[in-house]
Amino acid sequence: MNMEWNKDKEKKILLKYRFTLTVKVIRVIAAVLFLFWLYMLVISISYDALGLDKKHIFYSRVAMDWTQPNMQEEFGSIESAEITPLFTQKISYPVFKMVGKEPELVGTKQLAKRIIPMYSTNTMEFLKPKTESEYRFYLPEHPKTGNKLKADENPSVWTKLEKVHEGTVAELSFSTKEYMTPEEMLEFLKPYDLDVLWMPLYAGEMKEFEPGWGGSGNTLSVDSIGFTGGREAGDDYNSQSKLSLDKKFTEENKKLMLQQMKNLLEDESTSYRENFLGLSHLEERYNYLMKEGFQVYGAVVTGPVKELLKLKENEQIQGANLGDMTYWNWTKE
């Protein structure tokens, strides 16, 4: 029997074909989405179970302690961690600084740990612009010659402090004309009603290795690491703690700093230390500190402006820089 072909039949066949094709495409897409969801579920569950983010969070905080004065996380603040389909670990957490007795939010730490280490990133997104001179420290003598050095002075630092109301607290950094041990620096600052937050640490720069540096004439500022409260963590990095920069914890803080340096050198790659954490010349610095001990040449402090102004009269202090200021939030402990 012959079937007569016409436009209506052609249209029905095409519609049926399109419907069947559409259903197949939808099924394929649904299957792909389901497999992708299952894939991401397995990855996310495994990521959470292994706690891979905890190690990166811990060491990023250690590196921040050493390289970024008065930058710290607030215990109890919310951390965000996720893993992408291409196994990039994305981690973020808020960062604070101490101005007076209260933490002040300054930005967010953004970490991206990729499979290829050289493409991993570790950045800070600041809420307001930072200036390089806010934390600049000057060596008291040249490491190679032993000649005495000076610091660039900014008289407006003290002028600003003199003009603000005494019911204000502020952050100040300065260098000293002599090297001191951390204990000596804390004793040196004991007469002042201030909190000591961070100290630039001499670790063999320009003597054992060539760091980044700046200066002119008789001044010299090098890329340094700093001494502050030490950190420790359990084997799984779930349990983490930090000591304060206090004289009673000084020896423990030294031991913790050296231990974390040693752990990074023994357990992590050069790329992880340098490209991801931003810790250059760590081995040279570790060896120097082990051999020569800890010497500092300045500090970052915070407290009432009337106490900060007293530092102006101390002949040992040079190269002061003023950080943030805020309303009174100070009480003696």
- Write out pLDDT tens, residues 36-90: 777 667 776 766 666 678 899 999 999 999 999 999 887 767 788 888 888 888 9
pLDDT in tens, 97-115: 999 999 999 999 999 998 8
Q: For 129-141, what is the mean pLDDT?
A: 82
Compute the distance between CA of residue 178 and CA of residue 317 in angstroms, rounded to an integer. Answer: 9
Q: Which amino acid is at 93?
A: Y
- Tens-place pLDDT, residues 284-318: 999 999 999 999 999 999 999 999 999 999 999 99
Residue bearing tokens 């500022």: 221
Q: Where are the domains of the chain?
A: 8-50, 132-327
pLDDT at 1 over 50: no
**Cβ atoms < 10 Å from Cβ of 126:** 12
Cα angle, residue 288 at apex, residues 284 and 289 outer, rounded to 5°? 120
**What is the C-alpha to C-alpha distance for residues 57 and 68, in angstroms, rounded to an integer?**
15
Express each pLDDT in 224-245 by its tens digit. Answer: 999 999 999 888 888 888 999 9
For 302, the token pair is 């915070």
Strand-pair partners of 83 = 89
Predicted TM-score (pTM) of the model is 0.85
Helices 250-267 & 52-67 angle (0-180, nearest 10): 120
Does pLDDT of 333 surpass 60?
A: no
Q: How far is CA 277 from CA 59, 82, 152, in A?
A: 7, 19, 30
Q: Which of 166, 101, 193 is nearest to 306 (CA)?
A: 166
Task: Give 266-281 pLDDT, tens digit per residue.
Answer: 999 999 999 999 999 9
- Tell me if 222 sits within 8 A of 207, measured CB to CB: no
Burial 292-317 (b: 16+ CB within 10 A, else e): eebbbbbbbbbbbbebbeebeeeeeb
